[in-house]
Structure 1
Amino acid sequence: MSSTEGTIHAVDLAVKPFGWLLLLIFVVGYYFIAAEEKYHINKAKPALFTGTFMFMLLGIYYALGGHNFSAFDSEIEHLIVEIAEIFFFLFVAMTYIEALIERNVFDALKEKLLKSGFNYKKLFWSTGLLAFFISPVADNLTTALILSTVLITIEKDNKAFLIPAAINIVVAANAGGAWSPFGDTTTLLAWSSGKGAFVDFLFLFPASIIGWAITGLILSRYIPEGHPQQVEGAEPVQIHKGGMVIAGLGVLTIASAVIGKQAMHLPPMWGMLFGLSLLQLYAYTLKKYHNNDIQIYKSVSKVENDTLLFFFGILAAVGALHFAGFLDYAAKLYTQFNPTYVNIGVGFLSAIVDNVPVMSAVIKSSPDLPLAQWMLVTLTAGIGGSLISFGSAAGVGVMGKLKGVYTFSTHMKYAWTIIIGYAVSIGVWYIQFEALGFYINSATQVASAH
């Protein structure tokens, strides 16, 4: 432990056996997170145990060693704020999604697709486009689940259509989330930690959509000709009263989060919680004056607590590694190698390891990077999960919906198309950000090429 200008620094545990124990606990914990299908244990359980246990051990180590707790207290306080911002943001977003589901908004969308009469190729492109443009607002997992349900409802047997169409939805959902600060947890982490202003992430749109479009174009060549069998006798779906108003309130909520962050220096969760209050007040007026109960608390109860607890646990575990000093060594990669190459590698790593801990580790290691590089790592961490079927929440969700159809092996058969799209996205980023300098930095000044 050292002190510089009165600041107490944490003990560097990365060079001590106790630090290696922490790292081992993290690796073992992450193994059980990744192997949830094998052991039939929800990933939230090992994640929450690992994150909380690591800090319990750190507290015991500091207490028994008689170390100064100032750095420890500061780390815990910072971590609580960081996790709370992500936790409450996702809580509100998921509540809105559940409310829209309860009002039949998404069922109405599914019905339109079911009755469209589209052939296989039109269904392929329409579901892909919807995935790309819904995921920036809804999370990529919810988007992928909704649209994969559409696929399996329209066509249950034609794997020649289902497999590339499922891959297209996963790639599109992840690409769509990459250019929106709240479209994916990785972008949310980067935005909430101040690595870019809201508008900065929007400049990733060209790289995201072109990369997905190239993959989609190649995959579409494997889509068979013909039409799926029409669904007969289905009851028409009506959006319940207030459904579209809630959708409008959702847009207003997102605007509140953005304006609050950029203009009022409020964390994004503040605007989201303000939006939740509007939703609750609207639910009250619907019940009182229109005798129509949207059961807002039922929607809240349907929020996936396991998902929220997973994020708590994994962010705490990464925070423990950071406090122990391990991430300082990760940051040195950016000084020893070209940051572009490191960030491209982050994308491949996020396909094997969940992109949330990977992005969290990059942010906590806090390398000194220009805005263009922060945008690149946001892009690669977001779209890199598409490279493997279980590399993203969207992929895992679709595997569950299309069991026996969309699998690891069927995904890998077409993985080369995703690698091409991944390379194209990086190429577009390089031309736009590095060669042309076409983006706006956080100070809203036109940036020059580096």
Structure 2
Amino acid sequence: MEHEAINLATTWVGWASLAVFVIAYYFIATEEKYEINKSKPALFAGTFMFMLIGIYYAINGLNPEAVHDELEHLILEISEIFFFLLVAMTFIETLLERGVFDLMKYKLVSKGYTYKKLFWLTGFLAFFISPVADNLTTALILSTVLFTIDKKNLAFLVPGAINIVVAANAGGAWSPFGDITTLMSWTAGKGEFVDFLFLFPASVVGWVVTAFLLSLSVPAGEPPFDGATEKKPIVLDGGMAVVYLGILTIVIAVLGHTFFHFPAMWGMMFGLAILKLYSFQLKRSGKNSFNIYVNMEKVENDTLLFFFGILSAVGALHFLGFLEYIHHLYDLVGPTASNVGVGFLSAIVDNVPVMSAILKASPQMDIAQWMLVTMTAGIGGSLISFGSAAGVGVMGKLRGIYTFGAHMKHSWTILVGYIISIIIWYVQFEIMGLY
């Protein structure tokens, strides 16, 4: 039996929790300045806010079952996302360890492509890899590729990095597991797998428009490459098999969630089991095998713990009653205007907590509007460098090159693409009804 929570937004615990959230978010947004990774303040806020709620309930003699019920529901919700990402990141780390991505780097830089062609190729790869590998992982891999191509040419690196972030976020917007925000929407039951695919036209055209505008600032010429010293990397045993197992794992997760109503992470964990069995088979056959646990050590635990902390913190704000104001906003200005505004808010605050808050508030919207907010939260996060996990990741990878200031010089190109995406969504969903 679930117990109804009390609205505590205007009590001392409400204001104290809100203050903890705001202070924590300040340190999350300024992690480069204070050199503190974002998981620390997020995890502290998420856990401490519920402790404050527990103290308030104890002091006032309230029934703690309401807090217990909320935490049980939150743990279930977070674990689905946590384990899904853990498996996806383990597959990526295994592919890195097998040398699959090293080979991809070599093939790109050894062809003698111009800077402009490399700009379009890395963006194209980001757009089509992120729907499977998620936008953060994709952006980290391709920003590494970008830096490998030419470490000093800022006129190429800056627009190239922005292009990768925008492409990864746009590509992730039309896949249920391409972005944390879409994964959250999918697991929350706001759309079926195929519903997200209808966002492809808006996502791809918006990215292409931004990429074209960015490409105008990419220099002519081609990067240096010495075929005599740079040897072709060798993919270790089973590297390509891991690629196919990764695809199979995604297919199993989708089919299991669609037809059997399993959580998506259940199919992912089954895929992890297959990967472990494959590594055992490689070892038994005398080939160069890999150790899953060694690869797991390289997973971005900072990212996983950040999501745990921030989703917990938003859960606490929901329990306290703050997210009721979202309902009022949607009622006041309407769903379309509100969902377009979510994109701008995502750029400032980060799209994960914004989407989490929308899902917790769960305003009454049809499937077209849920797809709109999924798209705007994902693509809108690109407007500012730290508005998405992909942007934050690339800022860390290309430290001193891809910065807040460098991004903002080109942010107008992203805004144009964002507006184009919304126009296409409106024509497709609202006028033509093609979804």
Interval containing the TM-score (normalised by the shorter chain): over 0.9
Partner of 2:234: 238
Partner of 1:442 in structure 2?
none
**What's 1:70 paired with?**
65
| AA partner of residue 371 (structure 1) | I
Q: Verify the 8 A CA contact 1:105 1:244 in the aligned structure 2.
A: yes
Q: CA deviation at 1:401?
A: 2.7
Partner of 2:165: helix, strand, or coil?
Answer: helix
TM-score normalised by the chain length of structure 1: 0.94
Deviation for aligned residue 1:7: 6.5
2-side partners of 1:231 and 1:358: how far apart? 47
Secondary structure at the aligned position of 2:323 is classed as helix
Corresponding residue of 2:357: 361
* Contact 1:114 1:231 (8 Å CA) reproduced: no
Quick one: distance in 2 between partners of 1:252 and 1:34? 37
Q: Is structure 2 residue 23 aligned with structure 1 residue 28? A: yes
Deviations 1:241-275 (A, max 9, x none): 11111111111111111111110011001000000
How far, CA to CA, are the matches of 1:215 and 1:324 in structure 2?
40
Name the structure 1 match of 2:148.
Answer: 153
- 1:130 partner letter: L
CA distance in 2, matches of 1:261, 1:427: 31
* Overall identity of the aligned pairs, in %: 65
- State which of 285, 288, 292 in structure 2 corresponds to 1:292: 288
Q: In the alignment, which of 374, 377, 386 is matched to residue 378 of structure 1?
A: 374
Q: How does 1:223-234 map to 2 (within 5 A)?
A: 223-232=218-227, 233-234=229-230
Which sits farther off after the overlay, 68-77 or 340-349? 68-77
1:170 corresponds to? 165
Instruction: Tell me: CA distance 1:29–1:145, structure 2 relative to 1, closer, same or farther (3 Å).
Output: same
3-state SS in 2 of match to 1:326: coil
Opposite residue 25 of structure 1, the aligned amino acid is V
Offset at residue 157 of structure 1 (A)? 2.5
Question: Residue 262 in 1 paired to residue 296 in 2?
Answer: no
Given candidates 181, 189, 198, the residue that maps to 1:186 is 181
Q: Give yes or no for the alignment of 1:18 onto 2:19.
A: no
Secondary structure in structure 1 of the residue aligned to 2:234: coil
For 1:43, give the aligned amino acid.
Answer: K
- Indicate the larger mover: 6-15 or 268-277: 6-15
Map of 1:108 onto structure 2: 103
Q: Does 1:345 align with 2:344?
A: no
> 1:47-101 CA distances to partner (integer Å, 9 max, x unpaired)?
1111011111111111221112232221111101001101111111111111111
How many Å separate the matches in 2 of 1:290 and 1:205? Answer: 44
Unaligned runs of 5+ in 1: 1-5, 440-450
Q: What is the identity, as a one-letter code, of the residue corresponding to 1:234?
A: E
Residues 129-148 of structure 1 aligned to structure 2 (within 5 Å): 129-148=124-143
- Structure 2 counterparts to residues 307-346 of structure 1, below 5 A: 307-346=303-342
Q: Which residue of 2 aligns with 1:398?
A: 394
Deviation >4 Å, runs of 4+: none
Q: Which residue of 1 aligns with 2:417?
A: 421
**What is the aligned residue count?**
434
State whether residues 154 and 231 of structure 1, in contact with CA within 8 Å, keep that contact through their aligned partners in structure 2: no
More divergent stretch after superposition (391-400 vs 119-128): 391-400
- Helix, strand or coil at the partner of 2:131: coil
One-letter code of the match for 2:169?
N
Residues in 2 aligned to 1:189 and 1:332: alpha-carbon distance in whole angstroms: 23
Q: 2:432 aligns with which of 431, 436, 444?
A: 436
Q: Is the 8 A contact 2:329 2:338 kept in 1?
A: yes
Give the letter aligned to residue 301 of structure 2.
Answer: N
1: CA distance, partners of 2:347 / 2:226: 36
Which piece of structure 1 moves more, 291-300 or 272-281? 291-300
Q: Is the 8 A contact 1:331 1:362 kept in 2?
A: no
Q: C-alpha separation between the residues in 2 aligned to 1:102 and 1:402?
A: 21
**Counterpart amino acid of 1:389?**
S
Equivalents in 1 of 2:150, 2:271: separation in Å? 38
Partner SS for 2:133: coil
* Distance in 1, Cα, partners of 2:50 & 2:158: 43
Q: Give 3-state SS (helix, strand or coil) of 1:418's partner.
A: helix
SS in 2 for 1:181: coil
Query: CA offsets per residue over residues 280-334 of structure 1, 9 Å max, x none?
Result: 0001100112332211111112112221111111111000000001101112211
Aligned mates of 2:347, 2:139 — CA distance in 1: 17
How large is the RMSD of aligned CA atoms in angstroms? 1.3
Structure 2 unpaired stretches of 5+ = none
Deviations 1:107-131 (A, max 9, x none): 1111100101111111111111001
Matched residue type, 1:106: F
